[in-house]
Amino acid sequence: MEKKEKKFEEKLNELETLVKSLENGDIELDKAIESFTKATKLASSCDKDLKEAEKVLTSIVNEDGSLSEFKGEEEQ
């Protein structure tokens, strides 16, 4: 069976849950290390997702179908 990639929101919710449990400090050391490792991987994955989304949002499709970087109004 193929493993389905979690949506960004699902990963973020799981990350928030893990962080809260680590902040409470009421879990055993082994579980804390496991949770920290998982949280680190989730944070990295969320960061990757955000960077990919930023690429999409900052690109403009030209009439010929090519992409250009979006540049907002320049500050003077």
Is the model's pLDDT at 30 over the cut of 50?
Answer: yes
Strand partners, 7: none
Residue 2 lies in a domain: no
pLDDT value for 75? 45
CB 68 within 8 A of CB 62: yes
- Of 6-15, 43-52, 61-70, the one with minimum mean pLDDT is 61-70
Residue 76 lies in a domain: no
pLDDT-based confidence at 73, cuts 50/70/90?
low
Residue 75 lies in a domain: no
Residue 56: C-alpha distances to residues 33, 44, 63 (Å) = 35, 19, 17
Number of domains in the chain: 1
Element containing residue 76 per DSSP (H, E): none
Determine the structural domain holding residue 13 and report its residue range.
8-69
pLDDT-based confidence at 24, cuts 50/70/90?
very high
- Joined together, the tokens standing for residue 10 give 């699902």
